Structure 1
Amino acid sequence: MDRNQATGLILIALMVMLYFYFFAPKPEPVEEHQKDTTELVEEGTVESVIDQYTPAVAEDSAQQAFNQQKYGVFAKGASGKKEDITIENELVKISLTNKGGKVNKVELKNFTTYYGEPLILLDGESNNFSLLVNNIGRQLNIYDLYYTPAQRTEGDTTVITFNLDIAPGQSVKHIYKLGKETYQLSYQLKIEGLDQYISKENLIYTWDDRLKTQEKDLTMSRNNSTINYYTLRDGFDGLAERSTDVEEETIEEPIKWVAIKQRFFVSGIIAQNSFNKGRLKTSVDPADLSTVKTAQVVLSLPYEDIKSGKGNYTYYFGPNDYHILNDVADDFENNLDLGWPPMKWINRWVIIPLFDLLGNFISNYGIIIIVMVLLIKLVLSPLSYKSYLSMAKMKVLKPELDEIKEKHSEDLTKAQQEQMKLYQKVGVSPLSGCIPMLLQMPILFAMFYFFPQSIELRGESFLWAEDLSTYDSILNLPFTIPFYGDHVSLFVLLMTLSTILYTWSNQQVSTVQGPMKTFSYLMPVIFMFVLNSYPAALSFYYFVSNLVTFGQQALIRRFVDEEKIRVILEENKKKNVNKKKSKFQQRLEEAMKASQAKGKK
């Protein structure tokens, strides 16, 4: 090749390169040229389809092999598109998802949070359900699988079925039913034709629930949240409510139901037969203000029940309301803590029926509380009269009692014996003033349990209290006072002042002296610290009760004549000169003498 030929070839190459650089058509984007499989098949270019999709087929094959290895016979449900289905009635709105065939979200339609937002009892962020089966030696979560949803109605009931058909006669179904005007969601688990692939062991059901903050007072919410349960052998029980430590319990006996209980709301699962056993756990993260508590429920579901079509369960998502809980399951109403007997009996058979009765006629709950106080004080007025009359008698006897103390100042036992003789002569019992007061105490303590748990008060305002179910803060402090808090509750201040006034009124007819007299004034101050963060309804009730009691005593005082009492006591002295001592007085004197002898030794 001479120099001219070489030069020509180089020029031709340059021309070709310049042509392709400046004039050649640019390739169109791949997306514009690609057609779906159907179009390509219809055009008869099957080979090009195979060539174009060979990498995807390889990836799908690898995924299928992976799913087959991981899920075994259940591999058909390993992939799919997530789809949520919502069912609702007048009370609840429940979202179910085809991924897992499980509950995804629950909204209570007639309630809102303290901040006015929709009340979401649980959702995908705060809750996680899993259901493990033993698939030929490996644990498989069937709540990870995808199911085909179907919806139908049975009268007023909506039925959602999530179905995974594995082969003819082999399937897994999750069936949910929601009726009209109910907080209960029926759930049936059916596994058919898979005995050779599932060990005849218990299925492990796990429910992790991060309880969302719904109320103003987080501390009160934490003190009233826990996990309760009911066993067929021992009945109702639960983890410690007020604990901020990790609470955990393993139950090795059949369980009928388990409830994740908050202050005003409950989420629970109830078995038609029973769960074989379970493990429950609660914990608190003090730094997490968005979470009340974290609850974990682990239950064993008998496979034989599910296989035989008896895998029937019921979810309860609703208010912690005594009237509703009473119809859910045995002792399910005990999720509403009404205190120990006798406070529990008083709340259940007296306070709640009275509160409901007044609620039928009065819409303002502040006025209902006032009427409740008046009615209760009216019923207890005979006891109040007896108590005041006893204190008046003791006041009349006070000069003689002081004389005995002074005469036997060096012998306390002798002084007590002489005082008992005086009581016998005049026909007065030193305990007669205490007994009426003690009989009234269970009612006062019953209110201590009733008002903090009463969901009817939630969101109800009265005077300056925007919500009677929480404290009425008239002043927020820039600091926190130990045992008091960072706010000032006006109803608590009024209750404290009225209690001091009531105590002073009692001291006018009381014979109590010394440290006990000072302590009686200290008690209202202690309660001011204790009740500052309690519901406004409770402190308002005690405040009104003090005012009514003060007025009641002023009225009784007008009918109690101390001079007449003195005359009656003097007449009793003459009548009882030769009266024998009662067996109780004899035993009391013997106990005093024994105590005196022991002291001398």
Structure 2
Amino acid sequence: MDRNSAIGLTLIAVLLLAYFYWFSPEPKPIAQNAPQVTTPAETKPDAIQQPAAVPDSILAATYGDLSAAFKGEETATVVENEDLKVTFSNKGGLIKEVELKKFKTYKQQPLKLVTPESSGFNLKTQYQGKALDLYTLFYQLEQRNNGDSTEVVYTISLSNGAKLSQVYSIPSKGHEIGYKLRTTGLDQQLSGDNLSLEWADIVRPVEKDLADTRINTTITYYSEAEGFDELAPRSKDKESEALTQPVKWVAVKEKFFLSSIIAKSNFAGGNLETSMTESDSAVVKRANISLLIPKSQLASGKADFKFYFGPNDYKKTGDVTEGFRKNVYLGWPPVYWINKFVIFPVFHFLTKIIPNYGLIIVILVLLLKLVLFPLSYKSYLSMAKMKVLKPELDEIKERVGDDMTKVQQEQMKLYSQVGVNPISGCIPVLLQMPILFAMFYLFPASIELRQQPFLWAEDLSTYDSLIQLPWVVPFLGNHLSLFTLLMTASTLIYTWQNNQLSSVQGPMKSMSYIMPVIFLFVLNSFSAGLTFYYFVSNLVTFAQQAIIKRFVDEDKIKAIMEENKKKNAAGGGGKKSKFMNKLQEAMKSSEEAKRKADEERRNRKK
């Protein structure tokens, strides 16, 4: 590793560290003149605005025929398809519980995205001038088949022929549930322009790493005017957003799962809020959503929606609705393009033909190394040239002494004479950086790795904690990931090997050893799949360099350099590249500026 390669790798490492610690999305200020929407209470969702017991006479005087719907006995109806088990209640005509049948929590318990204890819904309006929550009424149930779907219909009928219906449609498979609000005559007795749909959700831990789950849990939303957006997921403070533009959908996004409501048209606006209590390990975050449903949609029979309760899977979310796939974050351009068009398609293709995900990672490494082989070859060739030049570079340092400017000038002169570009070893490394960044997003975002064991790792989507520490180490945690240790050890060996070929000395050489140790702390709690990938990548690199070494003749390189030196000496310096010309001009300008500054200093002393 020559000096320029070491500088390049150091800058790359600084960029990585800066991104993960300082480039997370900033909270947005609350927009002004937002629609006035009430926000559900932050207490238990099932306690949201529950009406106090009211005598029948008062109910009848207040709500007329509708008062009969305030009384009843709650009954549950369970509907299952291939992927979901959904429990409905006649009280409110609500979804009370949603279980994902093909997934389990980290503790191998049923994975439920909606429960009576953690989720609460309200649908508020004004009925004949009086406040009314349509989700507190008791409905009559009708269950029927419609093709390969099951329809659950909850209806309230009044004596004057007015009617309110909630229609749920559950297909034979999939994670979507259709939802329609229908009225006959009743909409004329509702006041105001909008109905307020309120949803409070307490997100419970379902993964191994609570801290990682928290920074990946937030509320996301999509509007046709502004596109995809979200509340700051990494914030530990209360985050809120007032939606002043029509909104297509809103989702409670966990690391690997989504709970979302999607409008066929649009919601008129709303309010979103997330909060967390860091000391409460029983709760990941609290999410409060308030959305405005235009009453005009209800009157025209266009109040059509659907729920999505399912995995945040890149392959599945693209078919749900516009912009929904962006819940799977693939990084920023050009990393996003590489992941979307190259890495993800290859990875998902391999998952279809190979059942072992550790083997898939090994094959992915081999494929990428094969594609990047020309760059690796050029990088190694550059290091071989620097190895040949090392005695002469060392001689320059001894001859010139501590004048670094003069040392650099002499080195540039030597590079020009022998025909070597000093940054040729750094450029291939930089060109590979988008692939490096892409992996940082591929593995944490891949639900395919969730609860997939490999060797000693029980779950490739999170860290392997084979080594438990008796205390918590700052920035490291209470564990050591063995894959991360192996990755760090192999990186240190790789660095040592490269330094044998390099002319780098002093602090820069020490820095090349420090950076792998820094990444031990950074990656210790990352996905085991990611650190295993980099460990295998290092092993393949060792093999690759051994093969390349057989085809790189250092004696031949030295002979070519000597020939270039003779030609340049005979021709008065030979032809220089534009880069070398600019670099030498910059160094001459620097030297001239330094000389003038020294002269001015001496003149002032006189």
TM-score range, shorter chain: 0.7 to 0.9
AA aligned to 1:377 is K
Where does residue 332 of structure 2 map in the other structure? 340
Structure 2 residue 259 is matched with structure 1 residue 267? yes
Contact 1:464 / 1:472 at 8 angstroms: preserved in 2? yes
Flag the 1:280–1:598 CA change in 2: closer, same or farther, 3 A: farther
Counterpart Cα distance in 2 of 1:372 and 1:464 = 20
Where does residue 561 of structure 1 map in the other structure? 553
- The two structures have a TM-score, normalised by structure 1, of 0.86
Contact 1:185 / 1:314 at 8 angstroms: preserved in 2? yes
1:394-448 per-position Cα deviation (integer Å, ceiling 9, x unaligned): 2222233334444544654444334333323322211111111112222122111
Counterpart of 1:206 (choices 184, 198, 203) is 198
SS at match of 2:466: strand
RMSD (Å), alpha carbons: 1.9
Instruction: Compare 73-82 and 212-221 and name the one that shifted more.
Output: 73-82
Structure 2 residue 472 is matched with structure 1 residue 480? yes
SS at match of 1:172: strand
Structure 2 residue 543 is matched with structure 1 residue 551? yes
Where does residue 230 of structure 1 map in the other structure? 222
Where does residue 143 of structure 1 map in the other structure? 135
Structure 2 residue 362 is matched with structure 1 residue 370? yes
Structure 2 residue 509 is matched with structure 1 residue 517? yes
Counterpart of 2:174 (choices 156, 175, 182) is 182
Where does residue 422 of structure 1 map in the other structure? 414
Counterpart Cα distance in 2 of 1:70 and 1:225 = 42
The structural deviation recorded for 1:79 is: 1.1
AA aligned to 1:236 is F
Counterpart Cα distance in 1 of 2:365 and 2:105 = 30
Structure 2 residue 387 is matched with structure 1 residue 395? yes
1:2-32 per-position Cα deviation (integer Å, ceiling 9, x unaligned): xxxxxxxxxxxxxxxxxxxxxxxxxxxxxxx
Counterpart Cα distance in 2 of 1:571 and 1:375 = 38
Flag the 1:72–1:242 CA change in 2: closer, same or farther, 3 A: farther
The structural deviation recorded for 1:540 is: 1.1
Counterpart of 2:582 (choices 587, 591, 597) is 587
SS at match of 1:533: coil
- The two structures have a TM-score, normalised by structure 2, of 0.86
Where does residue 31 of structure 2 map in the other structure? none
The percent of aligned pairs where both chains have the same amino acid is 54
Counterpart Cα distance in 1 of 2:63 and 2:399 = 94
Where does residue 39 of structure 1 map in the other structure? none
AA aligned to 1:337 is Y
Structure 2 residue 446 is matched with structure 1 residue 454? yes
The structural deviation recorded for 1:83 is: 1.4
The structural deviation recorded for 1:152 is: 0.7
Flag the 1:69–1:127 CA change in 2: closer, same or farther, 3 A: farther
Matched residue pairs, number?
541
The structural deviation recorded for 1:105 is: 0.4
AA aligned to 1:506 is N
Contact 1:346 / 1:443 at 8 angstroms: preserved in 2? yes
SS at match of 1:310: coil
Instruction: Compare 388-397 and 73-82 and name the one that shifted more.
Output: 73-82
Counterpart Cα distance in 2 of 1:406 and 1:221 = 55
Where does residue 468 of structure 1 map in the other structure? 460
Instruction: Compare 418-427 and 174-183 and name the one that shifted more.
Output: 418-427
Counterpart of 2:278 (choices 278, 286, 296) is 286
AA aligned to 2:265 is N
Counterpart Cα distance in 1 of 2:361 and 2:421 = 35
Contact 2:393 / 2:503 at 8 angstroms: preserved in 1? no
Counterpart Cα distance in 2 of 1:327 and 1:261 = 17
Contact 1:413 / 1:596 at 8 angstroms: preserved in 2? yes
Moved over 6 A (4+): none
SS at match of 2:388: helix
The structural deviation recorded for 1:574 is: 3.5
Contact 1:134 / 1:201 at 8 angstroms: preserved in 2? no
AA aligned to 1:535 is S
Counterpart Cα distance in 2 of 1:223 and 1:233 = 27
Greater length-normalized contact order (CA 8 Å, ≥ 6 residues apart): 2
SS at match of 2:284: strand
Structure 2 residue 349 is matched with structure 1 residue 361? no
Unaligned runs of 5+ in 1: 1-60
Contact 1:505 / 1:550 at 8 angstroms: preserved in 2? no
The structural deviation recorded for 1:575 is: 3.7
Instruction: Compare 549-558 and 120-129 and name the one that shifted more.
Output: 549-558
Structure 2 residue 77 is matched with structure 1 residue 82? no
Counterpart Cα distance in 2 of 1:437 and 1:101 = 59
AA aligned to 2:466 is I
SS at match of 1:167: coil
SS at match of 1:87: strand
Alignment of 1:101-120 (within 5 A): 101-120=93-112
Which protein shows a greater Rg?
Answer: 1
Unaligned runs of 5+ in 2: 1-52, 598-606
Counterpart of 2:250 (choices 258, 261, 264) is 258
AA aligned to 2:465 is S
Contact 1:426 / 1:573 at 8 angstroms: preserved in 2? yes
Counterpart Cα distance in 2 of 1:104 and 1:90 = 19
Counterpart Cα distance in 2 of 1:503 and 1:167 = 83
AA aligned to 1:153 is N
Where does residue 297 of structure 1 map in the other structure? 289
Contact 1:71 / 1:140 at 8 angstroms: preserved in 2? no
The structural deviation recorded for 1:157 is: 0.7
Contact 2:187 / 2:295 at 8 angstroms: preserved in 1? no
Contact 1:73 / 1:197 at 8 angstroms: preserved in 2? no
